[in-house]
Structures are given as structure tokens and as C-alpha cells.
A and B are shown apart, each in its own frame.
Chain A
Amino acid sequence: MTAVEEVPTELGGVAVMQVTLRIKRMNPEGTGDHAPGEDYWEEFHLEAHATDRVLDALHKIKWEQDGTLAFRRSCAHGVCGSDAMRINARNRLACKTLLKDLNPAKPILVEPIVGLPVEKDLIVDMEPFFASYRKIMPFLMPAGPAPERERLQTPAQRERFDDTTKCILCAACTTACPVFWTDGQYFGPQAIVGAHRFIFDSRDEGQWDRLEILNDTAGVWKCRTAFNCTEACPRGIEVTKAISEIKHALNTGEI
């Protein structure tokens, strides 16, 4: 532990430490040292608390060292889905990853998520990702006229699709998928999660239309069950399980 110097502070005994962030950067307009669009790594050294989030460290860099560093963020506690990035080679939300849970003795590697075009530093073009989501018709398609009061649904029916309702569209799953990286056509895990949320909702009658879309060459059969998506999901959704339930429905014709 040479790179980490732990000194106690006045703040409730939370240790202050020196950390290094090694950030993959790209400026579309170029900088003094780098051509427009060129990737490069840059190291930043800063003082942080062990309980700080990676997002706090990024803010500290942006606010105190280099205001040109670009990344998206909003809620800062893991519910808005803005700040998915690759941290030490794993997709995570910067606001849900604490420095103490990484190894601060080594530089912390921060890169944009992979498979979507990089726009600037950690910001990627999300449009292809949302385009896949829109393709699976992500809205309730009920049969018949709407009742006067609510449609009924038992707690068990509601529980059936609970897991996939948690999705925050952060793209951590899709951009962790090796098939998505290499196959430009694949919808990716998130779109399948988005479809699952409706296919297994007892109020929905659009399941066969959605399953037909997912049966397409760009659909679920591209999945090679790598489980990267499940590991990457910051909401703890069992993404691979959801995909396998859809494969099962397609194979058996049963939901």
C-alpha cells in the first residue's frame, strides 16, 4: 500500500485517501495535444474519502482540475440511469460505485460504455440504444375497451413481471454484451428486458406481436448466455433469466 496514504479526518472518522483516476478521453474538436476524435488516457490525482462515489471523484476533477471533462449525470443515487460507464473493466453506475469498493492502490480505470459511438470523453450517443427499445413496442397493449375503474391483477400476476419493471434504461447491460459489440443488428439485452416487462403482464395482449419481433434475426436467438448483462445491471435485474423466459415462450408457445 504505497500509493494510498490513509489519514484520519474530522469527518466522522472516514479515511481520506489519495486516488488516481485514469480516464479514457476523446475531444471531438481536438485539444492542444490531441487531434479531433483521437482517444487518449489521462491520469488525475486527487484526495477523496473512502465512502465517496466514483461520480464524486469525477466531479472533483471537473470542478477543480479540468472543466472540459465531459460525462452525464443527474440523480447521483442510482435511479436515473445517466452515468453508466466502464469502471475497472466492468459496467457500473458511477454514482453507485464507492471508491472503497475498488482497489484504490491502483489507478481506477474509467472508460465510456462500449458499443455505442463516443461523442466526447465518457459521453456516448444513446440514440441507437433507445431506437432498439422503441422497436419492441414498449407500451401496454390491452385488449378490449378500458374498464371504468382499474384493470384487476392479482399480487401473483403483478409479481410475475416485477423484476423487469425496475429497468432504468442506463444501457449497462446492452453495452456489456459481447454479441452487441460485434453484431450491429442485435437489439441487445435491454430491449428484451423491455419486452419481457409487457409480455408477462397479465393485462397485456400484445405479447405475440412482441415475441415475433424478438424471434427476428436481430432478436433473442443472438443471445449466447454470457451472463455479462446480469452482472452489469445496477438494478439487480436477472437479465439473462428474462431472456431465457422469452426463448422458452418462443419454443413452447406458452407464456
Chain B
Amino acid sequence: MTTHDYDVVIVGAGGAGMRAALESSQRARTAVLTKLYPTRSHTGAAQGGMAAALSNVEDDNVEWHVFDTVKGGDYLVDQDAAQILCAEAVDAVLDLEKMGLPFNRTEDGHIDQRRFGGHTRNHGEAAVRRACYSADRTGHMILQTLYQQCVKQDVEFFNEFYVLELLLSEDPQDAKPGAEVAVAGVVAYELATGEVHTFRAKSVIFATGGAGKIFKTTSNAHTLTGDGMGMVLRAGLPLEDMEFFQFHPTGLAGLGILLSEAARGEGGILRNSTGERFMERYAPTIKDLAPRDMVARAISNEVREGRGCGPHKDYVLLDLTHLEPAHIDAKLPDITEFARTYLGVEPYTEPIPVFPTAHFAMGGIPTTVTAQVLRNNTDVVAGLYAAGECACVSVHGANRLGTNSLLDINVFGRRAGIAAAEYAAATASAPALPPAADAGVAGLVEKLRSSVSGGGTETVAGLRREVQETMDRNVQVFRTSDSLTAAAGVIADVKARYENIAIHDRGQKYNTDLLEAVELSFLIELAEVVVAGALARQESRGGHYREDFPTRDDEKFMKHTMAYGSPGGIRLDYKPVVITKYQPMERKY
């Protein structure tokens, strides 16, 4: 075992992790541990834009952005956090420009802006141009720009180090309310060598991204297995609002590859088998630019009422054929290439088959507005921070607006980096590591290695498929008590059978077989949390739609879910929503 000592350890090198690293490494000795090379992170797959009320092309202001974010999140958003998100958005975009990000430009040379779902002028009057963008590869530009700045600042990366355990000073579930629980470090597995490393640190930031692979049809990368959220849960800390998962309306049919909402922002129209622009029925004012939860449900509803397209009537069409090819090439080059490459469809002349795809976890590791991780409704874990998709501040509530996630990673990544470094500077030393700090991870790795010839009969791929298929079938856009109960049964069964798993590779070097088995264990536990929260939430709000409880119930459920792991299963508690100026109203677009 190798032991390292840092002021700040950042886990994850996507947008949030690298934005944090740029702040932290200026102020404190910082290491960034990432399971991928930084430029492989899924921030790079984000397409459409980053919201900020710059008013570069039309009147806009922070208040309208806050209102849209709160309403878009079906009032489950913590309004103090949304205020920070939208107020700091302008500087977040300008900071990226100054770092060199190549935004698209207006004729007079300013950052160009375009329309996106749920972003409106004057509290819902009409769509507003708020998304700052770089063609349909805004996330790619953000990831590259942040990496370039990390190169400039000589940030220290540990590439292909899989962090598998979070070390705390004591078990938070045994600690009294108000007592201090502090972070001590993390334990990581090095892919190249199979060696286990312990990192002691005064501050740790989790920026580990999402968990889309709990579903089969997803826009998420293979590597988005929710490791960070899973480790937090195993450490005895809660996860917030995990039942709220966003299904992006327009994944390539059958594949789930993301086609940006920017396609509709640039004028694209959704049509059913009769050619009808059906969003006019669901959202008369802003139509195709309604928030994602509403559009995803509308598409699923068209399909199940028999108005789907194709031989199996199982998708709808995204029509760009009325747009000029030159306009498509300038604004939407990548997504139209995806349609050509993967479906053989030419978007200039043919509409593109689309269907909702699992896209984004609104929930995650609960944090304060300074990115400190909560261990219950009020106490924080000293020195532990989280930012980006793995975190829940909560700025997205029950449904995130498009372009607010690239904003989230920049605003709260920056806040986490500053707060973690300042905490480290004010702290004499990290808590002592427990004896044999690496024993847990070393034991886990050894157990899996010895499964190669241990007679186990279950496979990683087989169990993963069962979880993903039940999640797609039972926990997608439409949910019921019956569907969720069925999913819970499958997950419990898979969890038990995981004990009897066997892998193939006993090697020390580049053993991705072993790591897929570890990732699966996180997926199973997170699927369990999603389903438990969804079963208990007997209402419909944002991305969580219960057919047996089809309306929002503010009296009973205007509260955040807080899920804890326990020997008896998931234990649920609830936390109040922060409401400052916007009282809940019916959500119409």
C-alpha cells in the first residue's frame, strides 16, 4: 500500500472537478484522482449550451432565470441555491471566455445566445435567448478549456485511479446531532498496476458525475456508474431526491444517444405518426420548448396511444427538414452526424427517430450552497464537499432545465474548490487514518480476484442487464406502485445473487473486468435507492410521474427525500424545501 498526503483531494475530472481544481490548486496542495483521463469525462458530451442572463441578444435578467429554474424544477428547487446559480452564471460564462472558450459569436463580436427549453422572458411569456453555446459541442469546449487551464496551472492528476472508498473520522450514523464528523481521505485502486493507494486529505471534493447506467437506454457513458454517490451511501451518509431522474426527450431511437434540445431551440419540431406537431396540445405557449419532463412524457404518451412512428410505432420524429442545411451545419453539426452515422438518416431531408433516454440525476449527495456535504438535515461533514451531477444542492429540484447543468458544474465546482482549499488552510491536520485504512478496498479487490476460480455462477453482464431492463421497464417516464414494486423485487434478487458473482480476470494490470464488477455493485445500490424514494413519493412532480398519483401533492410532498443505507434496507427521511420568494403554483407552459 502507498499512502499519499494532500491538503485537498478531488475525485473526478469532469467539468466540476476541474473547475474546482483550478481554484483549489492555486490555494492548497491538490491532487485530482480520476478513473478516466480528464478529457474523456462526460461533460464533453454535453451539447446545447450554458445558461446565463447576459442579455447579449435580447432583454434578460437573473430574476427571470431564477423563476424559470424554480418553476422548471416543479418547486422542489431550494430557492436560495437557485438565486446563487443564476446570479453567478454571468461571471461563470465570462470566466470561461477569458480562459479561451470559443463561444459562438454575434455579428458585433459578443457571445451569442439561443433559446432552450423552459427558459423564458418575464415569467413565462415566451422563450428567451439565454443559452451561451459553441455549436452543439458546448460541453466539449468546456471540458477542453478547463483541461487546458489545468495544464497551464500544472494541476496534479492521478489518471485511471478508481476511488472506491471514502474515509471519515467516525461512522456518521453513530454520531450525535451536532457532533463533529470529519473527512480523513479516500482509498483508490490504480488501474495500471492493481495497487491500492490511500490518500489522506484535509478536504475531499466529490465530483464524480452521474449514474445513468442504472438504466439500459441512456445518453450516459459506460463509465457513469454512480461510484461517488454509492461510496457516500456506504459511508453512512444520505442521498437526496434520487427518485428524480431526468429522461431527455430526444435520444436517438433504440440507442439513447443524445440529440440536443438545441435542435428545437434552433427551430426543430416534434411530430407523431400523423405528422402532427403534438407539443401544441401539451404546452400551447412554448410548445416544443417546454421543459424536458413534460416533453418526454408527451412523447411516451403519443407512443402508447398509438401515434408512434416506424414499423413498431415506438418512436416519434424530430423534424429539421424545414431548416436550411447551412444553418444545420453551423449550429447542429455533431448531432446531425450522429443521426447519419448511427441511424443512416439524413437530417436535411428526413426527420430523425427519437425517444426519451435516461439522462441526468437531479438528486445526489446533499450539499449546502458552499458545496459542503450534509450528513443529516442540518450537520455537515467537516472537509467533505461535492459538486456537479453527483451533488444535490438542490438547484434542479424535480426537473433540471437544459443548459443549467453546465452552469451548475461551473458555479458549484468553483465554490467547492475555494471552500475546500480554505477549509484545508484553516485545519492543522487531517484526522488520523484508521488502522489498515486500505483493508476494505484491498479485501473487496481480493474477493473479486478469487472469484475467478471460486465456482460463482453469476456474471457481471447478466446481472447488470437485469437491473437495467427492469429500470427501463418499470422506473422510466411512467411509474406506478405495481411497476416500482416489481423493480424492487428484481433489484433485491440481483443484490442477493451478486454475492455469487464470478469474474474472468485475476490479473493485477488493467483489470477492467474487476472494476466493472465493482461498478455494478454501486449501480445495484443506487437503483435500490431510486426505487425506494419513488415508491414512497405518492405524487407526481417534475421527472417523477406516478400514474396512480397523477398530481402534485404539496401538502404531503413539498419536501426533499433523504435516503440512508441501513442493514434493514433503505431508510427514508425528509428535509424541508427552501422557499424564498416563489410560492408553488400550477405548472403550465
- Chain B residues, Cβ within 8 Å of A149: 94, 110
A76, B461: Cβ atoms under 8 Å? no
Which residues in window 217-271 of B have CB below 8 A to A? 221-223, 254, 257
B507 within 8 A of A: yes
B568 within 8 A of A: no
B507, A27: Cβ atoms under 8 Å? yes
Interface string of B19-44 (1 = CB under 8 A from A): 00000000000000000110111101
Interface string of B65-96 (1 = CB under 8 A from A): 00000000000000000000000000000100
State the CA gap A139–B99 with chains docked (Å): 8
A230 within 8 A of B: no
B331 within 8 A of A: no
**Interface residue tally on B, bucketed by range:** 35 or more
Kindly provide the distance from the CB of B453 to the nearest chain A CB, expressed in whole angstroms: 12
A140, B222: Cβ atoms under 8 Å? no
B322 within 8 A of A: no
Partner of A76, one of B108, B221, B312: B221
Partner of B503, one of A67, A79, A134, A153: A67
Interface string of A142-163 (1 = CB under 8 A from B): 1000100111111101100110
A12 within 8 A of B: yes
B137, A166: Cβ atoms under 8 Å? yes
State the CA gap A96–B340 with chains docked (Å): 11
State the CA gap A68–B505 with chains docked (Å): 5
A74, B42: Cβ atoms under 8 Å? yes
State the CA gap A86–B110 with chains docked (Å): 42
Which residues in window 12-56 of A have CB below 8 A to B? 12-13, 27-29, 51
Using A153-B105, A201-B102 as known contacts, say yes or no to A67 and B334 having CB atoms under 8 A apart: no
Interface string of B341-353 (1 = CB under 8 A from A): 1100000000000
Which one of A58-66, A208-216, A245-253 contacts B?
A: A58-66
B509, A74: Cβ atoms under 8 Å? no
State the CA gap A75–B503 with chains docked (Å): 24
A158, B151: Cβ atoms under 8 Å? no
**Interface residue tally on A, bucketed by range:** 35 or more
By beta carbon, the residue of chain A nearest B37 is A126
- Chain B residues, Cβ within 8 Å of A196: none
Interface string of A81-98 (1 = CB under 8 A from B): 110000000000000101
A119, B45: Cβ atoms under 8 Å? no
A150, B110: Cβ atoms under 8 Å? yes
By beta carbon, the residue of chain A nearest B35 is A74
- Chain A residues, Cβ within 8 Å of B42: 74-75, 80
A70 within 8 A of B: yes
B39, A169: Cβ atoms under 8 Å? yes
Q: Which of B36, B149, B507, B512 has the most CB of A within 10 A?
A: B512
State the CA gap A251–B545 with chains docked (Å): 64
B509, A29: Cβ atoms under 8 Å? yes
A103 within 8 A of B: no
- Chain B residues, Cβ within 8 Å of A78: 338, 341
Partner of A165, one of B97, B141, B460: B141
A158, B105: Cβ atoms under 8 Å? yes
Partner of B509, one of A51, A64, A76, A119: A119
Partner of B45, one of A27, A77, A133, A153: A77
- Chain B residues, Cβ within 8 Å of A146: 98
- Chain A residues, Cβ within 8 Å of B556: none
- Chain B residues, Cβ within 8 Å of A137: 152
Kindly provide the distance from the CB of B157 to the nearest chain A CB, expressed in whole angstroms: 10
B513, A82: Cβ atoms under 8 Å? no
State the CA gap A157–B338 with chains docked (Å): 27
B513, A140: Cβ atoms under 8 Å? no
A29, B508: Cβ atoms under 8 Å? yes
Using A74-B36, A75-B45 as known contacts, say yes or no to A67 and B513 having CB atoms under 8 A apart: yes
A96, B40: Cβ atoms under 8 Å? no
Using A139-B100, A201-B100 as known contacts, say yes or no to A168 and B140 having CB atoms under 8 A apart: yes
A28, B40: Cβ atoms under 8 Å? no
- Chain B residues, Cβ within 8 Å of A130: 37
State the CA gap A63–B503 with chains docked (Å): 10
A222 within 8 A of B: no
Binding site for B on A (CB under 8 A): 12-13, 27-29, 51, 62-64, 66-68, 70-82, 96, 98, 119-121, 123, 126, 130, 133-134, 137-140, 142, 146, 149-155, 157-158, 161-162, 165-169, 198, 201, 203-204
Q: List 21 A-B contacts (CB under 8 A).
A: A12-B312, A28-B509, A62-B512, A68-B505, A74-B221, A74-B223, A75-B40, A75-B222, A79-B44, A80-B36, A80-B44, A80-B221, A126-B37, A134-B151, A149-B94, A152-B109, A155-B106, A158-B103, A165-B102, A168-B39, A198-B100
Give 12 new A-B contacts, CB below 8 A, not counting A139-B100, A162-B102.
Answer: A12-B311, A70-B512, A75-B42, A75-B222, A80-B40, A80-B44, A98-B342, A120-B507, A150-B110, A151-B97, A154-B105, A201-B100
